[in-house]
């Protein structure tokens, strides 16, 4: 009869009979201490009941309009024993059941017992037809916002969602769009009437909302809550959308956010430990998903762009708590993500600093908690790595974070050293390393790799055209090398690298050198891969013991004509101002690296002798005769090195200013003196000023001898005399200088250590007849040199 044409009346009659019969059985044999799924399973296990239920279901499918109302009305009368029947019928025909249960025009009771029954039925339906239930709940919420429902529809929906997780899951994806700022403004007037009509107090309503947020809030809803923290008088920035919220809505959102954060704090604190259940909301916020780097990305971007302190503090709290609730602590992944993604700012510094502290305090962090996150940062490349280095540099300003950052940097020094000479990020790496206080002692391996990289970077820096950047980068290098040279081994290595670098052909032009590939100095330090012809090999001059009148003499060693067959290094020519600045910066860095070592000038002196002097004969303190033949080759080579590399004069003056270190460069002073005696003695010029380069070199030599106290105090005016003399007179002056240094050998034990840790030789009294030739020359040129005579007079020692 049900399947016949016009069987609608029979459907209603048969359905009514079946429902009444089932209600009688349910009242007599039903159990109320089971959940609805268990009750459905219990009744459907009986074949008789199953037959009646199938008949009722067939009637509902044939004539749903009348039969569903009859089933639901009967279920209400005999509540709650027939709730299982409504749930079972709704599972097969959800649309009519949902339209009846969620009818926006029908006023329902919000008491606990009826609401619990409705919740149980809807939960059962949501487990089987989540899409249909979600659409019905969404439609009810939309009509509630538009005011098309009875006043209690909103509270009804809140209570339903609070009591059922499956119901909340069906609506979670639609909530962010439904609770947009415009929607919240429309709800404001309705919410004002909910207390005390449907809720006893605002506290109860807030508690319900916070519970819902704990169960379903995501980044979008958190962003909506954060809108309430932005003061009304703050104008949004150009790159931020304008959010128009009513003042009462802003206040409510701020209250909800503070309550939510407080509840999250309590949950995160009570659920510490590996075996405790995690807070689902916090876990979801920092858990990377496929296709998106981090769910909190949009919230972080908005907060950093907004810049409001209270917003930054709230977001920081969320970030730290969400990381602490991950099954695998995610600070190590989130920390590099923040540094690589967001540009440097004080707001980001606040967030990352708090996150870093949480990472350091993690029980499983170990002794070097930042090593792994920083290694992740360094594994990147391009603009993101440059951005991360800038953020780490900003982060290192914090006093609390300096030590853990230093430990992480120390463990990754070899990796950082590889970045120093990359054009894009080298400046950032050096700037960071110069600011970090490196933990001492630094291993020789790390010192070596970093010192070599810094030396190359320094030379490239000094070759820059931008003076401001050059000075800044040189300052960073000086601070970094000062830390690396804390040990004696480190200082010796760094000093050698710097001193050797200034004589390398590819960098010598930075300091005003005119170098030639294959010259005596460059051939010594540069390996040439191409095979040499016999003639070229003959022109090569290297370090070996020279035997007088043998095939190794000056006439066969290639010193005289050694450079005529070599090609000049193709290098740009710097201005004299740039060369002077480069030399000064280099000496400043050398002093910075040597400030903790009293023996530093001695190290530089020995290096100069090793690099410039081509052999080891007569390198000691004794002063040989200037005409000794087998030193002529060496003297010419030393003189030519000083001519080709002006920085050698600067380094020699640096050594002379730290007495008595110049004693260890006696071989260089002797060679230069002998060479210029020979040079001026063969000059055909009438005045010394006609050869300005040789004149300046001679003056420089005498100035260095005066600074190093190789000459007596009363002869400090000798450099001022030279330009007023003829070449043969210059020879006479240099001969006096040679004789004095020969008779008064500059040995370190002749200097007296003063209380200020300086060395002095001014109390040394020499032969009064020394420099008589110089004094006679002053008398001869009295019109130009007469004012120098009082200074040259020998001071008599005080009577004892």
Token readout for 581 is 């600045």
Q: What is the pLDDT of residue 528?
A: 40
Q: pLDDT per residue over 352-387, tens digit each?
A: 888 888 778 776 666 777 888 888 888 888 888 999
Q: pLDDT per residue over 540-564, tens digit each?
A: 544 444 444 444 444 444 444 444 4
Tell me whether residue 296 is in a domain: no
The C-alpha atoms of residue 293 and residue 273 are separated, in whole angstroms, by: 26
What's the whole-number mean pLDDT along residues 586-601?
88
Q: What is the pLDDT of residue 700?
A: 93
Tell me whether residue 647 is in a domain: yes
Q: pLDDT per residue over 609-635, tens digit each?
A: 988 887 665 555 566 665 555 567 888
The C-alpha atoms of residue 314 and residue 152 are separated, in whole angstroms, by: 33
Q: What is the pLDDT of residue 335?
A: 82
> For residue 521, is pLDDT > 50?
no
CB contact at 8 A, 27 and 75:
no
Task: Give the residue from 151, 155, 72, 152 showing the smallest Cα distance to 117.
Answer: 72
Q: What is the pLDDT of residue 331?
A: 54
> For residue 518, is pLDDT > 50?
no
Q: What is the pLDDT of residue 475?
A: 92
CB contact at 8 A, 641 and 674:
no
Residues 161, 165, 168: CA angle, nearest 5 degrees: 45
Neighbours of 147 (CB within 10 A): 12
Tell me whether residue 90 is in a domain: no
Tell me whether residue 626 is in a domain: yes
What's the whole-number mean pLDDT along residues 724-738?
90
Q: pLDDT per residue over 221-270, tens digit each?
A: 888 888 888 876 555 554 556 667 888 888 888 898 899 888 888 888 78
What's the whole-number mean pLDDT along residues 642-663?
90
Q: What is the pLDDT of residue 704?
A: 92
> For residue 337, is pLDDT > 70?
yes
pTM tops 0.75, yes or no = no
Q: pLDDT per residue over 399-426, tens digit each?
A: 778 888 888 888 888 899 898 988 888 8
Q: pLDDT per residue over 175-203, tens digit each?
A: 777 677 778 888 888 888 888 888 888 88
Stronger pLDDT, 702 or 15, i.e. the higher one: 702
Tell me whether residue 614 is in a domain: yes
Give 787's pLDDT tier (boundaries 50, 70, 90).
Answer: confident
Token readout for 212 is 């819902």
Q: What is the pLDDT of residue 544?
A: 41
Give 477's pLDDT tier (boundaries 50, 70, 90).
Answer: very high
Q: What is the pLDDT of residue 584?
A: 93
Q: List the single range of 18-22, 250-254, 436-440, 759-763 with lowest mean pLDDT.
A: 759-763
Q: What is the pLDDT of residue 686?
A: 85
Token readout for 463 is 């070759």
Containing structural domain, residue 701:
598-800
The DSSP output letter for 616 is: -
Give 517's pLDDT tier (boundaries 50, 70, 90).
Answer: very low
Per the prediction, the chain carries an average pLDDT of 78
Token readout for 700 is 């420089």
What's the whole-number mean pLDDT along residues 583-595?
90
Q: Is the peptide bond before 660 cis (omega within 30 degrees of 0)?
A: yes
What's the whole-number mean pLDDT along residues 473-494?
90
Using CB atoms within 10 Å of the CB of residue 258, give its burial: 0 to 12 exposed, 13 to 18 middle, 19+ buried. middle
The share of the chain scoring above pLDDT 70, in percent, equals 79
Tell me whether residue 664 is in a domain: yes
Alpha helices in 502-599 (DSSP H): 505-508, 520-525, 534-538, 576-594
DSSP per-residue codes, 160-188? HHHH-HHHHHHHHTTHHHHT-HHHHHHHH
Give 758's pLDDT tier (boundaries 50, 70, 90).
Answer: low
The C-alpha atoms of residue 35 and residue 164 are separated, in whole angstroms, by: 13
> For residue 171, is pLDDT > 70?
yes
In which residue are the tokens 């339903």 written? 160
Task: Give the residue from 209, 220, 144, 222 showing the smallest Cα distance to 176.
Answer: 220
Q: What is the pLDDT of residue 589?
A: 92
What's the whole-number mean pLDDT along residues 528-545?
48
Tell me whether residue 484 is in a domain: no
The C-alpha atoms of residue 485 and residue 737 are separated, in whole angstroms, by: 38
How many residues does the structure list for the chain?
Answer: 800
Give 498's pLDDT tier (boundaries 50, 70, 90).
Answer: very high
Neighbours of 751 (CB within 10 A): 19
What's the whole-number mean pLDDT along residues 530-540?
52
Q: What is the CA radius of gyration of the chain?
A: 46
CB contact at 8 A, 186 and 248:
no
* Helix 309-324, helix 247-270: angle, nearest 10: 30
Overall number of domains in the chain: 1
Tell me whether residue 318 is in a domain: no
């Amino acid at each position: 009869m049900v399947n016949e044409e016009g069987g609608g009346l029979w459907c209603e009659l048969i359905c009514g009979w079946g429902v009444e019969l089932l209600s009688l059985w349910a009242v007599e044999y039903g159990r109320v201490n089971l959940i609805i799924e268990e009750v459905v399973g219990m009744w459907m296990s009986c074949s008789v009941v199953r037959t009646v239920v199938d008949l009722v279901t067939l009637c509902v499918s044939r004539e749903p309009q009348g039969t569903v109302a009859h089933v639901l009305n009967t279920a209400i009368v005999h509540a709650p024993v027939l709730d299982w029947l409504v749930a079972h019928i709704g599972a097969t025909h959800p649309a009519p059941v949902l339209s009846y249960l969620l009818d926006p025009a029908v006023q329902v009771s919000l008491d606990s017992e009826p609401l619990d029954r409705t919740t149980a039925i809807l939960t059962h339906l949501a487990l089987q037809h989540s899409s249909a239930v979600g659409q019905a709940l969404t439609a009810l919420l939309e009509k509630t916002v538009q005011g098309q429902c009875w006043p209690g529809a909103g509270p009804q929906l809140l209570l339903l969602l609070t009591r059922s997780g499956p119901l909340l899951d069906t609506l979670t994806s639609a909530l962010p769009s439904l609770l947009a700022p415009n929607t919240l403004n429309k709800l404001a007037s309705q919410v004002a009437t909910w207390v005390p009509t449907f809720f006893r107090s605002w506290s109860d309503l807030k508690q319900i909302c916070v519970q819902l947020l704990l169960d379903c809030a995501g980044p979008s809803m958190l962003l909506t809550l954060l809108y309430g923290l932005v003061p009304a008088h703050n104008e949004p920035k150009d790159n931020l959308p304008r959010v128009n919220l009513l003042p009462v809505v802003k206040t409510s959102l701020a209250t909800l956010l503070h309550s939510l954060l407080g509840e999250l704090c309590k949950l995160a604190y009570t659920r510490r430990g590996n075996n405790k259940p995690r807070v689902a909301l916090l876990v979801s916020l920092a858990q990377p998903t496929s296709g998106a780097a981090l769910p909190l990305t949009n919230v972080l971007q908005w907060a950093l762009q907004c810049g409001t302190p209270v917003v930054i503090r709230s977001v920081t709290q969320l970030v730290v708590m969400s990381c602490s609730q991950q099954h695998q602590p995610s600070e190590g992944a989130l920390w590099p993500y923040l540094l690589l993604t967001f540009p440097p700012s004080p707001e980001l510094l606040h967030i990352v600093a708090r996150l870093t502290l949480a990472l350091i305090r993690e029980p499983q962090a170990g002794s070097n908690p930042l090593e792994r996150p920083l290694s992740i940062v360094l594994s990147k490349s391009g603009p993101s790595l440059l951005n991360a280095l800038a953020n780490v540099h900003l982060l290192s300003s914090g006093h609390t974070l300096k030590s853990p950052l230093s430990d992480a940097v120390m463990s990754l020094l070899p990796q950082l050293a590889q970045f120093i000479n990359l054009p894009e990020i080298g400046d950032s790496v050096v700037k960071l390393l110069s600011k970090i206080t490196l933990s001492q002692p630094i291993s020789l391996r790390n010192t070596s790799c970093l010192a070599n990289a810094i030396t190359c970077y320094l030379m490239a820096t000094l070759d820059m055209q931008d003076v401001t950047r050059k000075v800044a980068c040189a300052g960073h290098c000086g601070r970094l090398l000062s830390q690396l040279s804390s040990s004696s081994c480190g200082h010796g290595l760094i000093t050698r690298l710097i001193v050797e670098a200034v004589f390398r052909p590819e960098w010598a032009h930075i300091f005003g050198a005119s170098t030639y590939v294959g010259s005596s100095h460059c051939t010594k330090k540069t390996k040439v891969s191409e095979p040499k012809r016999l003639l070229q090999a003959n022109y090569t001059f290297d370090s070996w013991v020279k035997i007088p009148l043998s095939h190794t003499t000056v006439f066969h060693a290639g010193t005289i004509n050694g450079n005529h067959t070599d090609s000049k290094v193709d290098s740009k020519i710097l201005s004299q101002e740039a060369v002077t600045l480069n030399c000064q910066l280099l000496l400043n860095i050398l002093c910075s690296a040597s400030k903790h070592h009293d023996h530093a000038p001695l190290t530089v002196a020995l290096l100069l002798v090793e690099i410039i002097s081509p052999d080891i004969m007569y390198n000691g303190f004794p002063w040989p005769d200037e005409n000794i033949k087998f030193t002529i080759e060496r003297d010419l080579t030393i003189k030519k090195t000083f001519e080709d590399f002006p920085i050698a004069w600067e380094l020699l003056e640096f050594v002379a200013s730290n007495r008595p270190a110049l004693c260890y460069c006696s071989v260089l002073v002797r060679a230069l003196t002998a060479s210029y005696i020979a040079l001026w003695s063969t000059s055909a010029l009438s005045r010394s000023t006609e050869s300005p380069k040789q004149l300046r070199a001679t003056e420089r030599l005498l100035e260095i001898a005066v600074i190093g106290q190789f000459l007596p105090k009363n002869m400090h005016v000798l450099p001022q005399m030279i330009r007023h003399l003829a070449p043969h007179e210059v020879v006479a002056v240099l001969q006096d200088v040679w004789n004095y240094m020969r008779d008064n050998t500059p040995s370190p034990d002749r200097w007296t250590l003063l209380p200020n840790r300086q060395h002095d030789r001014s109390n040394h009294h020499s032969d009064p007849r020394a420099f008589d030739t110089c004094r006679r020359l002053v008398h001869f040129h009295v019109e130009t040199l007469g004012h120098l005579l009082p200074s040259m007079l020998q001071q008599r020692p005080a009577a004892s």
